[in-house]
Amino acid sequence: MSAFDQLDRATLARLLPELLLCGHLIDRSGMAHCIGAFGRPGMTAVAIEEWQVASPVYTRRMRRALRIEGDGVDTIFKGLQLDIGAPPQFMDFRYRVEDHDHGEFWLDHCGALLDVEPMGPEFVVAMCHDVEDPTFDATALATNPYAQVRPIHRPPRTPADRHPMCAWTVTIDPSHVPPPVPPNSELVANSAAALLDLPDIDPADEGQSDYAGPLLSDLRFDDFSKSALVRMADEVCLQHHLLTLGFLIAVRARTDQAADIGRKQFAGIAGITSERLRAALDLDDDPAALATVLRLHPAWNPLPYTGIEITETADSVSVRLPRDSGAVADGVWPALLDADHLAPLEAMARGVNPRSYVRAVAADRSGWSAEIALAAQPFREATEVAITRFSKGAGFAFADRGIPLPLTVV
């Protein structure tokens, strides 16, 4: 069962880039609060740790789902195309494959860099050197343990408008000694999110059911079947949760205020994501629209992981959260909410209608419920949402790039 089954194929194709981009923006919310709590060095360490433990897990999941086989650089690049770390166009990865063991990628547009450059060269170095070196390798190693990702050039940019913004080689060399497995990797690899079973893609469904063919310059989601798009959407939502799990593990190791930081991270990305989903689906701001956005919000998906229930009336929406679910067991976003901590849900609702307010209405042994209704006047935007809106990704618009070209060397 998937919440995305309710959508037609064209709508799902439009939604997939949104889910990938919103996953990328999780760090625009979370890292701001880590800077406040731990300073720039501590923030950098958290970013490294969360991506190192999360990206190999969800890369392997997506490869299995879409029958992405092999262990060459083209397979590594396919994984990047379906990674919240590299959402299409906003992080405009371009690829060149020389052979099984050699390739390059570069970024013609890096939204993350454009967000960070105004903060100064120290933050640019932290992102483009300190974070990228171990995390690019971690993602590549999920496909081949002998893969290495190394810079050709990278920011700080000289000259200031240098394009491409960065460029990297990927080399597979059997003499390469893989780095040690990062601490806490097993916690994430054995999480409910990592081990969740989802329905297989129906190969008889109209459209492309896998990505077993050649590497393409861009993924055109319209070419995939509805069954494939539903599975991809659920997998991308799991990427959100796995990254958040890595984030919370890293934060908990540094402070006893991890739940508070996690809720702030959740609130910031929850509001921006609701806004983007509403716009992408061209919805109104009434309770029916809110119910639709909530049902599709990555915080509440996949349904077998969260167990969330959304119901609506003419003037309100009810959210039922179970006490027993994979998401609660993992301690990710749904586990951070209770009757005394509703700010993330408020931010989520106000991304659809700024007049939304939330109150807890019922609780029992199996779960608890909150009701969302409308006040007479709009509420002021939450600080956490305003911080996340700093990213140019909050207002980024995708473009139709036409038919992609195959890149794999034959």
CATH number at residue 354: 3.90.1520
Same domain, residue pair 251 and 390: yes
Q: Are 324 and 27 in contact (CB under 8 A)?
A: no
Residue 369 in any domain: the answer is: yes
Q: Average per-residue pLDDT in the chain?
A: 97
Q: Is residue 230 part of a domain?
A: no
pLDDT in tens, 65-79: 999 999 999 999 999
Which pLDDT value is given to residue 305? 98
pTM of the model: 0.97
Say if residue 378 is preceded by a cis peptide, omega within 30 of 0. Answer: no
What pLDDT sits at residue 409?
57
What does the buried/exposed string (b/e) look like for 287-317 if buried means 16 or more CB atoms within 10 Å of the residue's CB? bebbbbbbbbbbbbbbbbbbbbebebeeebb
Domain range spanning residue 358?
247-394
Cβ 236 vs Cβ 296: under 8 Å: no
Q: Are residues 135 and 273 in the same domain?
A: no
Residues 6+ apart with CB under 8 A from 39: none
Q: Judge whether 99 lies within some domain.
A: yes
Number of domains comprising the chain: 2
388 in any annotated domain: yes
In a domain, 377, yes or no: yes
Regarding whether 259 and 170 lie in a shared domain, the answer is no
Q: Which of 310, 273, 297, 305 is nearest to 385 (CA)?
A: 273
Residue 131 DSSP class = I
d(CA 251, CA 255): 6
Residues 270 and 362 in one domain: yes
Q: What is the C-alpha to C-alpha distance for residues 299 and 269, in angstroms, rounded to an integer?
A: 10
Shared domain for 83 and 168, answered yes or no, is yes
Domain boundary among 160, 183, 206: 183
Please report the sign of the dihedral spanned by the C-alpha atoms of residue 52, residue 109, residue 231, residue 270: positive
Q: Which helix (H) or strand (E) holds 223?
A: none
Q: Which residues of the chain have pLDDT under 70?
A: 408-410
Produce one character per residue of 18-52: b if its CB has 16 or more CB atoms within 10 Å, e if not. Answer: bbbbbbbbbbbbbbbbbbebbebebbbbbbbbbbb
Determine, yes or no, domain membership for 27. no
Where among 156, 183, 210 does a domain terminate? 183
- Tell me the per-residue pLDDT of 229-254, one tens digit each, with 9 for 90 and over: 999 999 999 999 999 999 999 999 99
